[in-house]
Structure 1
């Protein structure tokens, strides 16, 4: 079972009676481009952070309302849901409506998997076998060893010994490519390629720091994308918006939930050549174009994720342009790569 994230009642409900909080005066929010009015009880808001308490009790808003015209209505509705319940509904396509952090209803599209008959295994469930969404070699011109598609979860599973490995003979590559791979991939004296221990450890540390200890995310619950990538990009950006809003008002519990949920989505995502840059690029553009996110920890999270897979995406179409368009992202990525490859 995956860990329950953010399912406890909000701080307000922990420290004061629910009924008492419901008796507090509603506070008005004017939200989004359409300036729609919403109301939330002041008592629930004031318990979430000192800044929200100042906002609703007159220190920073003497008119009894606040205008959040830069907050989308779907983001605000989830913020309100979190205020009252301690979690929020996921940003999902129509077929996905599970609450963020629910232990049984993962925030991904279920993948149907047919496993080999355990009684007579013909092929080990390995990095280079037919195991779903596991990193595998493709016989391309450069004979690369570890390439997309894979997810962080499946790579970690393969690299921690839960999958057997088949060796690959390295093909002819450029000198710079060989040097880069020597850093990014552990290779034995015979030149055989296998999942990098450094990469595995970096991925494991990244997930653990963000609420997903080793083994907590099931390899059988991954997200595969078809030709339509915008819905999943919206899922990622939605959680980023929740984090940025929480960061603005120092709502630690919402920051933790949105961060953990975003990283969980990224970890389960089966990245592929055709969709990685369009989807991840959309998330990067939002986080690095948004002035509110400047100096926000979410930028570091995005850069750390990119550093986990950089050697497998650096040659993709559009990647170089992304780095040129967003020099702050490029600088953050270099910083995280230095940590990983040191």
Structure 2
């Protein structure tokens, strides 16, 4: 979706009263009405909102509406920026761990793994983004687990960490999300830990919930694409597993069955299940949200055969 046409930018406005502080937004009525049939009905239909040219969205926060407004006018939206609190120095073989500026007693710091001279032996935590770049320089690999991933364009064998980049990319392609690739690449995605990862996850989820409620199909796909891109690039360290579990719980509580973002999280969890199944929060999730547990089991059975 691109910028609205000149015909939509007329002098007919509609007011949204948003959030608990009742912030008022005046927007071009035809721009928002063009997003979906439900929004067109809200703005132009036989309801009191259309008569008063005002609607109250108390269940939508201001940041989410700002992103919706960006999408309505520009076809894209800005994500929450990462707040990195660590500075890492490159580790060389036989070198001591990097020094961290400041005090971070309550933050888990992942180790940076130097590329070995004769292949790899990957263990958590390891940045899958860095690992994929390392692979470009080394042909041979040493892995402690090998899986076969079926039912995609080609069957490949891979280590569990490498699975995420390729598998999620295949999922996006299979679900028609590759056309958003240029948009999601504009977002700078860091692979280090940051204190606001929950905010970065939920900025996509909250906007997705609004898009789903008002059937804004393009935005449903865009929010799912951006979350998929973020999940592909994160470093899965122990604290992050808990964040992922909380994200899944949040999505399944607020989205309908067969929601596209649900499908993404089920697929992503099936890919990483062997690395997160010992996390207490993730185990509680499998018990508390049976539709999620069933979905993950089905994906594992359909797509993955564990070896050795």
Instruction: Determine which of 119, 122, 125 is the counterpart of 1:149.
Output: 125
Alignment of 1:93-242 (within 5 A): 93=82, 130-131=114-115, 137=121, 146-154=122-130, 163-167=138-142, 183=147, 195=159, 199=163, 202-208=167-173, 209=175, 210-211=177-178, 222-226=190-194, 228=195, 231-242=196-207
Are residues 259 and 131 of structure 1, via their aligned partners in 2, closer, same or farther at CA, if it must alter by over 3 Å?
farther
Contact 2:211 2:219 in 1 (8 A): yes
5+ residue gaps in structure 2?
93-111, 151-156
Separation of aligned partners in 1, 2:62 and 2:295: 31
Q: CA deviation at 1:299?
A: 0.6
Separation of aligned partners in 2, 1:301 and 1:333: 11
Matched, 1:261 2:204: no
SS at match of 1:318: helix
Instruction: Determine which of 49, 58, 64 is the counterpart of 2:45.
Output: 58
Matched, 1:296 2:259: yes
Report Cα offsets for 1:80-116 as digits up to 9, x if no partner.
1221122212122467xxxxxxxxxxxxx99978699
Q: CA deviation at 1:256?
A: 2.5
- Give the number of the structure whose residues are more often strand, by fraction: 2
Give me the TM-score of the superposition, normalised by structure 1. 0.66
Q: CA deviation at 1:184?
A: 6.1
Q: Which residue of 2 aligns with 1:246?
A: 211
Instruction: Determine which of 267, 270, 274 is the counterpart of 1:311.
Output: 274
Are residues 84 and 194 of structure 1, via their aligned partners in 2, closer, same or farther at CA, if it must alter by over 3 Å?
closer
Separation of aligned partners in 2, 1:327 and 1:236: 22
Q: CA deviation at 1:198?
A: 10
SS at match of 2:80: coil
5+ residue gaps in structure 1?
1-5, 96-108, 117-127, 138-145, 171-180, 187-192
Q: Which residue of 2 aligns with 1:326?
A: 289
Instruction: Determine which of 54, 69, 85 is the counterpart of 2:74.
Output: 85
Report Cα offsets for 1:18-73 as digits up to 9, x if no partner.
xx433232111122223322221111112222222111112454442222221111
Contact 2:128 2:162 in 1 (8 A): no
Matched, 1:36 2:27: no
Contact 1:153 1:217 in 2 (8 A): no
Separation of aligned partners in 2, 1:73 and 1:318: 30
Separation of aligned partners in 1, 2:72 and 2:172: 26
Separation of aligned partners in 1, 2:60 and 2:25: 12
Give me the TM-score of the superposition, normalised by structure 2. 0.72
Contact 2:146 2:160 in 1 (8 A): no
Q: CA deviation at 1:158?
A: 6.3
CA RMSD of aligned residues (A): 3.8
Are residues 318 and 115 of structure 1, via their aligned partners in 2, closer, same or farther at CA, if it must alter by over 3 Å?
closer
